[in-house]
Amino acid sequence: MNKFIVADVANCIGCHACEVACVTAHHQDAWPQQRRDFLPHIHVVFHRNASSATTCHHCNDAPCVLSCPTQALYFADDSVQFKKSACIGCKNCVIACPFGAIEMVASGEDEPQLAHKCDLCSGHPSGQQACVASCPTQALRLMDESGLRQLRRQRQIRTAQGQPVHHEQRGARRAALLDKAPRVGAKKIAADERKLNFAEIYHRLSSCDADYESERCLYCAQKAWCNWTCPLHNHIPDFIRLVKQGKIIEAAELCHQSSSLPEICGRVCPQDRLCEGACTLKDKGGSVTIGNLERYITDTALEMGWRPQVGDVTPRKERVAIIGAGPAGLGCADILARAGVQVDVFDRHPEIGGLLTFGIPSFKLEKEVMRMRREIFSEMGIRFHLNQEIGRDVAFSDLLEGYDAVFLGVGTYGLMAAGLEGEDSPGVVQALPFLIANTREVMGLEESEEYPLIDIKGKRVVVLGGGDTAMDCLRTSVRRGAASVTCAYRRDELSMPGSKKEVVNAREEGVEFQFNVQPKYIQRNRKGQISAIGMIRTEMGEPGPDGRRRPREIAGSGFELPADVLVLAFGFQAHEMPWLRGHGVRLDRWGQIVTGGKGRGTTQTSNDKIFAGGDAVHGADLVVTAMVAGRRAADEMLTLFKQKEGS
Ligand SMILES: Cc1cc2nc3c(=O)[nH]c(=O)nc-3n(C[C@H](O)[C@H](O)[C@H](O)COP(=O)(O)OP(=O)(O)OC[C@H]3O[C@@H](n4cnc5c(N)ncnc54)[C@H](O)[C@@H]3O)c2cc1C
Ligand code: SF4
Ligand code: SF4
């Protein structure tokens, strides 16, 4: 008889730990570098309120083996094994398998699609099946000849003795694990109070609530689904366990192993789309408040006087220049400084943080947090050169000459126009300059010509867009005393790209939402000032190439939405960087920096000495993804430095 994995549906909690264990076991017990390489041989399937894991049945007379023309699939060690080098990608096995247990996958962009199936971890040094070992409820087990004999015997005895099947014991491990109190999360300041100022709206968790939330975590596995969906692969179950044990300093140290700014990600990550969206408890009392706990750990440890330690590093001879003190640049600087590299960070702004400081408003992230981080990074030996714009105050060629490598973490600052007639009218403003001007005022910085502060007190403000930037503009307008604040979005509420939490917060603060409306023109008064926006209603049509349903205009549904101020919050595109020309750095057709390719680091540009990451490479995205890119660039630079040392 062939061996195979069986799943006990009654005890499956749907935590995906088996999928994660399968993937990491086939990646030398590490996380795959790219999302597309997450290819488990076992799949958790959900049906109504139940879940179960399915994988290859290792059939005795396996049709896949019989169908394979090259013997790439063969019987060995009481299972169906696969030899990749013999696979010609004919897909016969995929068609032959009655359980859909074989997939065709490519191991790289230019690689051919080959069969991919469970090998019962035959090559893993532990000799154990990773999925079985990782299951927190022992719902999975390897069925072999002896297991089957045991099962047969148990059933024969039970039948002979006339014992009934104990239904109440079925799923007991699942029930015990999922019996959790509901989520509490961080407390918010009441909307009426918070909309009067720019202070952060969420309180830090109290130690009592942190204990309560950490108690709720199921500790699905050391490498759990929540770790995988966190772009940094933070050690979430482990740091939560340390909170439960009251070991805050140890938890802070662990958080800093995988993240350069944990208290910031804990505040600004869209957790509902990332770590918390993947939590096993999401639909069972609510996800563990991972973000709040992450913030709690670092805020508390810093308050206790703890500081991230660089440790006893031997200084290296290399020097690296980093352009941009946003999350990408800071992630890169952090890793390099810890490895003993001398790091100089240049930024045109008077404070570090990039959009963390000058984009994200202080009611989401207090500016004091970033100032504290500057102190910490400076103590680690990172040198910041603020108010220094490359291409204006410092020549890029000087950096190339004076440093062993340069990292570009310059973000995306190209503004998107609405394409409406009258868009240049007084009263029509772009989101980012609007937010920057506001933040500069909150920080007590001088008003700058580039970012003039506009007075919106008592005015009717309309914001076009449905993402996080739009939410920030709306909530800023509320705090600036606008008479009314309206969000006009061309799709329906479900299609909004921003974090759901921010939409709830905006609503609570008095923002009005108009969905399925598209701007057509800008109406001006006699002074040329905007007075209304001509709108047309839309309905949701067929999905476009990006999979999102497209809005369709409804004929004859036009109307005018009165407005004194219109904020355009459509997102960002790459900005011009004339100073980069002539240095062999390839840009794509949208002006984003191109990195990677055959024989190059994934963050290395077409100039060997120049690396890049964050929004400037992957387009406007998230703080956490920018930081991942910066940290990876640092790792790739270090590999290069070590290779040069050895050659
Ligand atoms: C309004 C707004 C709200 C957002 N809210 C969230 C949120 O809640 N959660 C989230 O995860 N993400 C959010 N984002 C996205 C997030 O802020 C970005 O994805 C992230 O900051 C990108 O990091 P980065 O390091 O690539 O670039 P940036 O943060 O843009 O940093 C780039 C830095 O490079 C500097 N620079 C550029 N050119 C030069 C030059 N020539 N010389 C010197 N310095 C230069 C810039 O001054 C800037 O400081 C938001 C973005 C905006 C605009
Ligand atoms: S970095 Fe973001 S996604 Fe990762 S654990 Fe923290 S809050 Fe979640
Ligand atoms: S946070 Fe959620 S998904 Fe992660 S280990 Fe805990 S219960 Fe499991």
pLDDT tens track for 69-85: 999 999 999 999 999 99
Q: Distance (Å, rounded) from C-alpha 256 to C-alpha 351?
A: 22
Task: Tell me: do 132 and 220 sit in the same domain.
Answer: no
Q: pLDDT digits over 493-504, tens only? A: 998 888 888 999
The answer to the question of residue 330 being in a domain is: yes
Domain span at residue 75? 4-147
Q: Distance (Å, rounded) from C-alpha 486 to C-alpha 461?
A: 6
Task: Tell me: do 428 and 554 sit in the same domain.
Answer: yes
Task: Tell me: do 205 and 331 sit in the same domain.
Answer: no
Q: What is the Cβ-side half-sphere exposure of residue 59, based on CA atoms within 13 angstroms?
A: 15
Task: Tell me: do 440 and 553 sit in the same domain.
Answer: yes
Report the pocket of ligand 2 as residue ranges, CB < 6 Å.
230, 232, 234, 236, 259, 265-266, 269, 271, 274-275, 290-291, 294, 624
Task: Tell me: do 433 and 521 sit in the same domain.
Answer: yes
Q: Is the pLDDT of residue 310 over 90?
A: no
The answer to the question of residue 531 being in a domain is: yes
Q: Is the pLDDT of residue 518 over 80?
A: yes
Task: Tell me: do 39 and 58 sit in the same domain.
Answer: yes
Q: pLDDT digits over 358-399, tens only? A: 999 999 999 999 999 999 999 999 999 999 999 999 999 999
Q: pLDDT digits over 469-484, tens only? A: 999 999 999 999 999 9
Instruction: State the pLDDT at residue 545.
Output: 81
Task: Tell me: do 431 and 407 sit in the same domain.
Answer: no
Instruction: Give me the CATH number covering residue 119.
Output: 3.30.70.20
What the block records as the tokens of 532 is: 């209304």
290 ligand 3 Cβ < 6 A: yes
| Cα 249 off chain centre by | 25
348 ligand 1 Cβ < 6 A: yes
Average pLDDT rounded to a whole number, residues 297-312 = 92
Ramachandran angles phi, psi of 603, nearest 5°: -110, 10
Q: Distance (Å, rounded) from C-alpha 159 to C-alpha 166?
A: 13
pLDDT band at 571 (very low <50, low <70, confident <90, very high): confident
CA-based nearest residue to 335, from 33, 31, 627, 34: 627
Instruction: State the pLDDT at residue 424.
Output: 87
Task: Tell me: do 110 and 201 sit in the same domain.
Answer: no
Task: Tell me: do 284 and 389 sit in the same domain.
Answer: no
The answer to the question of residue 603 being in a domain is: no
pLDDT band at 291 (very low <50, low <70, confident <90, very high): very high
pLDDT band at 556 (very low <50, low <70, confident <90, very high): very high
Helices 290-303 and 236-244: angle between axes, nearest 10 degrees = 60
pLDDT band at 23 (very low <50, low <70, confident <90, very high): very high
Mean pLDDT, the chain, integer: 94
226, 229, 272, best to mutate for ligand 3 pocket (most atoms within 8 Å of CB): 226
**Looking at 147, 177, 200, which one is the last position of a domain?**
147
Instruction: State the pLDDT at residue 449.
Output: 87
Task: Tell me: do 344 and 455 sit in the same domain.
Answer: no
Count the neighbouring beta carbons within 10 Å of the beta carbon of residue 575: 13
d(CA 372, ligand 1 centre) in Å: 18
Q: Is the pLDDT of residue 516 over 80?
A: yes
Task: Tell me: do 142 and 23 sit in the same domain.
Answer: yes
Show Cβ contacts of residue 260 under 8 Å, excluding neighbours closer than 6 positions.
327, 330, 331, 334, 335, 627, 630, 631
Structural domain count, the chain: 4
Average pLDDT rounded to a whole number, residues 157-184 = 86
Q: Is the pLDDT of residue 93 over 80?
A: yes
Average pLDDT rounded to a whole number, residues 178-190 = 94
Q: pLDDT digits over 200-222, tens only? A: 999 999 999 999 999 999 999 99
